[in-house]
Structure formats: structure tokens, C-alpha cells
Amino acid sequence: MTHIYNFSAGPAILPKEVLAQAAAEMLDWHGSGMSVMEMSHRGPEFMSIYKAAERDLRELLAVPDNYKILFMQGGGLSQNALIPLNLVGHKPQPATIDFIHTGSWSGKSIKEAAKYANVNVAASSMTSVPPQSEWKLTPGAAYLHMCTNETIDGVEYDFDAGVPAAVDGVQLVADMSSHILSRRVDVSKYGVIFAGAQKNIGPAGVTIVIVREDLLGKALPACPSAFDFKLVADNESMYNTPPTYGIYIAGLVFQWLKRQGGVAEMEKRAIAKAELLYAALDASDFYETRVAKQSRSRMNVPFYLKDESGNEAFLAGAKARGLLQLKGHKSVGGMRASIYNAMPIEGVQALVDYLNEFAGRRHSRESGNP
């Protein structure tokens, strides 16, 4: 069989080693005679899995002691409601939430938050992160929400350029679903970081929430108890049954990340992979990208064939080479290559080879050469 490289945006590629280990442990976890799926979430076996996952994630992201890590259900989208329900109670009502709108996911967050608070779009651009000097923030806002990597549009914050930093004491909330653990981040700058697992961590169904302790305990009365961050934190994510098998796989991914050299090493690899791919796209007049260079995502690379009549042939040829799930999101069209932590550079090289070959083939057909 051709070697397969999976460029799906999510649910997405996982490390082969992790899948092999999960397969080997499927029927009998560590001599317990049980699959992880069959264990009580409060029993000593699963508690050891949970505690290791929590500890490893804390270590990988250098999460300070005054932050809780919650393993919740509901995915990234449900956090668009749960974060207002948990945070706006810290301010007199009706509170205002500021947003930076940089693409589809922050757009969805804005719509949902408007059910619970006033929303102010402080800055907006779908092709770059607007410079911080242009953000029109609300004094006394409950918090400032940003999606630090827009999975569909391919816009990523360049943390190295100083964004985001604490903004006039306003609480930062970041949706890091599609680039968490791919780059170093200073957790202490945030009130809440959240991420659905299915992009860079593990199976769909687990949602990671990292929340500073002083933000707990002010949930609005309408907040469902099972999603009250304080109740979840006080019960070590076991107020109700957590997504146990997903947490187990996430834990294996965290161990894999540590063996690879942690987040700093992932960041190095992400830079190398992204540079390789963008360089190939930039060098060709056959393809185009639409995101400003300084805001290009290292994880999700949307690109377009200038002549879109070649789209179907491009995808069919890619599939024949084992390059899977390259079709862009239906809302923006074109192509998208998601190159998460588990994507080896060989996969990106295989894609680059194909990009060059496909462009060359089309060129020679147009110019009449064989």
C-alpha cells in the first residue's frame, strides 16, 4: 500500500506509536484484565491514567500552580457558551465581551456569546491578525476573546511579536484548539485557554480548559452544573463521568510529546514544516495563498489553485499518492493542508513534491510540451 499522509483539519492525524500502544493495550490495560473503556472513572486504574495526563499536560505547557486543568466534554464550540456563563458573572450585568474577529471560529464565538452578554468586535480581519494598536477595547470588559489559530482561514497569532500580552488588565480568553502544544505559550498571560482535543491532542470528545483559579465560582445561575468550571475543578473533572477513553489517548499523546522533546521541539518542527510548504506555494505561480505572511498559520495551510478548474484533478491525484483530506473547508473552498504535531516532515515533503509535479504537468500540457 502507498504510504498514507493524512492532512485532515480534524479529527486529525495521531502519532502512529500512540495508536499502536492503544491497540496493544485495548483488551487488557497493564494487566488489569480490563480495557480502559470498561474502567470506573473513580477506580485506582483510571485515576492513575487521569493524574498522569493532567501532570504531563501541566509540565508540557508549564501551567502555573494557580491554574486548574479541566478535562471536559462538549467540544470547542460549547465553550463559546460555557465561558460567558462562567466568566461574565465577575462583572456587573449586562457585561460586555470584547472579541478579535480573525476568521470562522472567532466568528462563531461572537454569535454565541451574544446570547449571554453584549459583544464588541474590537478588531476584524480574515487575512491577518489586526495590529494591537488598532484594537478598540471596551473599558471594564468581562474579557477579551481571541482564536489564536483560525483552523479554517489559516490565520495564526504571532506570539513572538508580543501579541497577545495582557491588554490593559482585561482578561484574555484564547481558543487554542488547533495549535495547542505546537508552540510555547506563556499561560500566565491568560485567564482561560481552551482546546477541543481532535486537532492536536487526541480523539473528539475531550475538551481541555485551563483556567486561573480566581476566575472560578461566579458562574451565572443558568450555567449547567456539569459545566460550572468550579464544580468541575473541585471534582478533578469527575463531577460527571469524563470522556475516559479520550483522556487516556490524550495522555498517551502527552507522553509521546515528552519523548519527542516537548513543546519547544514541536515548535521547531512546526516552523520547519510550515516553511517548507509555504516556500513551495510561494515559488509557484500556479498556487496562491491569501493570508498575510506574518499571520500565516503553521498548522493549517489553506491554498488555492489559481485555475480552480483543476481542483478535482488535483485532489484525485493527491489521493492516488496517499495524500489524503486536502480539500479546503466548504465555506472557503480551495485546498487546506493541516500539518499538526503528528505529521512528519516527510509527509510535508511528499505534498511539496506533488505540488511541484502537478503544477509542472499542467504547465507542460498548456504549452503543448509532452
Q: Does 175 participate in binding ligand PLP (rule CB under 6 A)? A: yes
Q: Which is nearer to ligand PLP, 13 or 355 (CB)?
A: 13
Least CB distance from residue 201 to ligand PLP, whole Å?
Answer: 11
Q: Which residue is nearest to ligand PLP (CB)?
A: 75
Rg (CA), the chain: 21
What's at 331, amino acid-wise? S
* Catalytic residue selected from 29, 105, 135, 256: 105
Least CB distance from residue 156 to ligand PLP, whole Å?
Answer: 10
**244 labeled binding residue:** no
Answer for the pair 190, 67: CB distance below 8 angstroms, yes or no: no
What CA–CA distance (Å, rounded) separates 302 from 313? 17
Interface pick for ligand PLP out of 105, 143, 248, 278 (rule CB under 6 A): 105
Q: Does 178 participate in binding ligand PLP (rule CB under 6 A)? A: yes
For residue 321, how many C-alpha atoms fall within 13 Å in the half-sphere facing its CB?
A: 19
Q: Which is nearer to ligand PLP, 199 or 269 (CB)?
A: 199
3 state SS of 195:
strand
331 dihedral zone (left: phi>0; alpha: psi -120 to 50; beta): alpha
Q: Does 89 participate in binding ligand PLP (rule CB under 6 A)? A: no
* Catalytic residue selected from 199, 230, 273, 327: 199
> Dihedral of CA 119/80/51/179: which sign?
negative
Angle, nearest 10°, between helix axes 262-283 and 44-61? Answer: 60
Q: Closest by alpha carbon to 147, among 157, 133, 160?
A: 157
319 is catalytic: no
Q: Which long-range contacts (CB under 8 A, 24 or more apart) does 353-359 make?
A: 354/317, 354/318, 354/321, 354/323, 355/280, 355/281, 355/284, 355/287, 356/280, 356/284, 358/286, 358/310, 358/313, 358/314, 358/317, 359/284, 359/286, 359/287
**207 labeled binding residue:** no
Q: Does 177 participate in binding ligand PLP (rule CB under 6 A)? A: yes
What's at 183, amino acid-wise? R
Q: Does 339 participate in binding ligand PLP (rule CB under 6 A)? A: no
Residues 58-87 that bind ligand PLP (CB under 6 A): 75-77
Interface pick for ligand PLP out of 97, 119, 141, 147 (rule CB under 6 A): 147
3 state SS of 121:
strand
Q: Does 151 participate in binding ligand PLP (rule CB under 6 A)? A: yes
Least CB distance from residue 148 to ligand PLP, whole Å?
Answer: 8
153 is catalytic: no
* Catalytic residue selected from 56, 98, 175, 228: 175
What CA–CA distance (Å, rounded) separates 314 from 257? 33
353 is catalytic: no
Counted residue by residue, the chain has a size of 370
Binding-site residue total for ligand PLP (CB under 6 A)? 12
Least CB distance from residue 176 to ligand PLP, whole Å?
Answer: 8
Least CB distance from residue 16 to ligand PLP, whole Å?
Answer: 23
Q: Which parts are annotated binding residues for L-glutamate?
A: 42
Q: Which residues are catalytic?
A: 105, 175, 199
Binding site for ligand PLP (CB under 6 A): 10, 75-77, 105, 147, 151, 175, 177-178, 196, 199
Binding residues for pyridoxal 5'-phosphate: 105, 151, 175, 198, 240-241
